[in-house]
Chains A and B, each alone.
Chain A
Amino acid sequence: MRSSIGSVTSFVMVLLLTGCTQSPVPGAPIGQSPGVRIPVGPIPGPGNNLTSLPQNPYEGDQVAMVEGRRLFVWYNCYGCHGGHGGGGMGPSLRDPVWRYGGDPAHVFASIAEGRGQGMPAWGTKIPQDQIWKLVTYIKSMRTPQEPDTPLLAPQPPVTHPYATQQQTKPPSHGAYGGATEQAGGGQP
């Protein structure tokens, strides 16, 4: 008796603690809390799609995109992922290739949890709200809504470099290695 109350209580506690935005993943065995909130890989069994991922509360929100851009610079994301997300120490966020899933919920999870090849676990430091704004900015890249797009106009040609200043006087005896007598030269 006590043990089943205990397991029901802990089941309810786990449900409460795992957050209000989460929906149960389809296919989880009855009576057990799933180990994951945002699955990235395929769900075992035929025909299961990831239909119940958490939604981005700022989906399509232009203000959130701009705010996300600000946070992208503020938290040094630009230093690893490139000034406008084109890549660097970390992979490009502009291209359609996503190592850990490209759905907004997956991008959220990667930022929040960090990843094993060096992506920091920002969810331990910054609020969920800011992570969703970062997601909103990242998903706006290469769309007409992207704030502060990278420079794409052709550069003017570079002009007026300084002329080479020859500061060193060539030795008056001419280049070494020649057969002529030189001060300081000479074999035994």
Chain B
Amino acid sequence: MTRRCNGLWLLMVMMGLAYSAVGAQQKQNQSNGDLTVPGQSPNIKLVSPVPNGEWTLPAGDYANTRYSPLTEINTQNVKNLRVVGTLQTGIAHGHEGQPLVVNNTMYIVTPFPNDLIALDLTKPGFPMKWKYEPRPDPMSQGVACCDTVNRGASYADGKIFYVCLDNTAVAVDANSGQEVWRTSVGDIHLGETTTMAPLVVKNVLIIGNSGGELGVRGKVTALDIKTGKLVWRAYSTGPDSDVLIGSDFHPFYAKDQGKDLGEKTWPPDAWKLGGGTVWGWISYDPESDLIFYSTGNPGPWNPDVRPGDNKWTITLWARHPENGQAKWAYQILPHDYWDYDEVMENTLVDMNWQGKMRRLILHAGRNGFMMVIDRETGELLSADTFGIPVNWASKYDLKTGLPQEDPSKQPHTGITARQICPSSTGAREVLPAAFSPVTGYLYIPAHNTCMDHEAITANYIAGTPYLGSSTNMYPGPGGYQGDLIAWDVANARKVWDIKDPLLPVYSGVLATGGGLVFYGTLEGYFRAVDAKTGAVLWQFQTGSGIVGNPMTFKGPDGRQYIAIYSGVGGWMGAVAQSDFSTDDEYAGLGVAGAMKNIKKVTAPGDMVYVFGL
């Protein structure tokens, strides 16, 4: 071996030792310390692989890869996949999120009213063990911007943890279905709701809020998993003391350095209504003991009333989970004009990047840029457009971390900017991508939608929308509106894609050790695709548009199963629901114009499907 390889071999041995030490310390759901998966590329290392067979966290793993090493269902036999179980929740709203499977029980959180259903997987037909009904406040439905969805739960310490739409966080005994504690973490009378799947990290349950369209101040709340009591809270705007920025904070870019920027980069007091909500996914790196998440749009949508960078909206954070203190931050888009929330998942992968192993974050942005970030420092390593038309900016300057924006695409008060790509719903939305360590591809559920956007007077009335915007969306160029994109991360290029001519790809994605990628369409097709080639190997019409995230597990019989929700909804999908009129292209914050055809192809549904061989 060359000297270089010797050095690297030594490094790998040391990392392996470090990992096993960390693995021994973790008293987490991740019970097996094996951090490699069969067939994975030698230049890729997973941060926290899914323990074989169970699915105890929203993304399966802490790193948000949504990759399962299970191999039984593979490219050869997936054509035999069939329905083995179904459940109807009876709620005709968007079924985002995914079930959990732990101890041979499947746990489902429904859309509002956010019931928790436990199914016994050991018995045929998967009968219901119990149903927990938290009865959240029905008035919360009136301040939920984008359908009354719920993105799922976490399991730890014998309990299922999730948050209801009215901001009630609950802990439920996973065996008995009895409530252990409940804690309110927000106020619907300020327009605040919760839709995200909270994450358990060690002793805390980490929760983000929603309401960036209603003048809600973004925040992350950590509760003690045993008692539900508040441990820490980090706001997305305001002075450093509120944002939990202290002496350990080292942002990479000069633009993100300074004191109390969460206050100074706003007109006086505007940060109190500033948005930056946290309604997407949280990742955790057990080795560096850091959580990663990114924040939503600034409020109001009208950019002229909030001159300044509007920190810390649309910002990627690294924080310590036990006390919330910030380690670094990178503001992906200062002074947003377009509602390009970046709450999408931050996938943690260690891989060979341009010649050396690096600890990365993969973030396929709402803004259409595939961002690769060094998770040790917050440095932006690359930002290529990932295959959807983008014109709000031409590129990112890696030296400054700033996008180079096109001023003609920036709306102002009374001035309509036209044909902005992507639309506010983005080149992709919060529906999560999956990463395969075997192919090294990130599988992105993408949209091709553009918009006209005019800023109008924004009027703050607590508990009502704080927008100041008139927006209508429509399909982008090229004759397609959805795209499942396989992106080769190391080579920064699209490898294959599956276009949907009519509708966005609005589901989550699952990648498996059997060489498969699973996703769903808004027409209702659930598909298995060859992870390397993109060939569609199997599909099943589920009856309603799919906006949930596929997951996989090992049943009590040791066989592999795949589960998915089928029930159209969410911001774009809700146009299919009966109380939307598509002759108003501005309805639904502008999505009605882009989703005119959806009522013809799908209708609301409420099914949980389990598939097996």
A interface residues with partner B (beta carbon < 8 Å)? 73-76, 78-92, 94-95, 97, 115-120, 142, 150-152, 155, 157-162, 164-171, 173, 175-177, 182-188
Interchain CA distance A168-B353 in the complex, whole Å: 10
Closest-CB distance, B179 to chain A (whole angstroms)? 24
A-B contact pairs, 19 of them (CB 8 A): A75-B459, A76-B461, A80-B465, A83-B471, A83-B585, A84-B587, A85-B587, A86-B580, A91-B579, A150-B584, A150-B586, A151-B593, A158-B389, A168-B381, A168-B382, A175-B488, A176-B440, A177-B41, A188-B12
* Contact B41 A176, beta carbon cutoff 8 Å: yes
- Besides A87-B579, A92-B579, A117-B138, 14 other A-B contacts (C-beta < 8 A): A76-B461, A82-B588, A84-B586, A92-B584, A97-B578, A97-B579, A116-B138, A150-B583, A160-B391, A162-B389, A162-B391, A170-B492, A184-B8, A186-B8
* Contact B586 A171, beta carbon cutoff 8 Å: no
* Contact A177 B440, beta carbon cutoff 8 Å: yes
Q: Is residue B303 contacting chain A, with contact meaning CB distance below 8 A?
A: no
B interface residues with partner A (beta carbon < 8 Å)? 1, 4-5, 8-9, 12-13, 41-44, 138-145, 213-214, 351-352, 354-357, 372, 381-385, 387, 389-391, 393-396, 398, 406, 419, 421, 439-440, 450, 456-457, 459, 461, 463-467, 470-472, 474, 476-477, 488, 490-493, 578-590, 592-593
Interchain CA distance A160-B396 in the complex, whole Å: 19
The one of B5, B372, B384, B590 in contact with A165, judged by C-beta atoms closer than 8 angstroms, is B384
Interchain CA distance A75-B390 in the complex, whole Å: 34
* Contact A161 B592, beta carbon cutoff 8 Å: no
Interchain CA distance A177-B44 in the complex, whole Å: 9
Known A-B contacts A150-B586, A184-B352; the reply to A86 vs B592 at CB < 8 A is yes
Closest-CB distance, A177 to chain B (whole angstroms)? 4
Interchain CA distance A166-B145 in the complex, whole Å: 36
* Contact B421 A158, beta carbon cutoff 8 Å: yes
* Contact A89 B142, beta carbon cutoff 8 Å: yes
Residues of B within 8 Å of A173, CB to CB, are: 355
Residues of A within 8 Å of B466, CB to CB, are: 76, 79
* Contact A118 B384, beta carbon cutoff 8 Å: no
The one of B8, B42, B389 in contact with A161, judged by C-beta atoms closer than 8 angstroms, is B389
* Contact A79 B465, beta carbon cutoff 8 Å: yes
Closest-CB distance, A160 to chain B (whole angstroms)? 7
Interchain CA distance A85-B5 in the complex, whole Å: 65
* Contact B352 A185, beta carbon cutoff 8 Å: yes
* Contact A157 B477, beta carbon cutoff 8 Å: yes
Residues of B within 8 Å of A94, CB to CB, are: 581, 583-584
- From A120, A168, A186, residue with most partner B Cβ within 10 Å: A168
Interchain CA distance A85-B466 in the complex, whole Å: 16
Known A-B contacts A164-B387, A168-B384; the reply to A183 vs B144 at CB < 8 A is no
A-B residue pairs, 4 tightest by C-beta: A118-B142, A79-B465, A83-B586, A86-B584
Residues of B within 8 Å of A116, CB to CB, are: 138-139
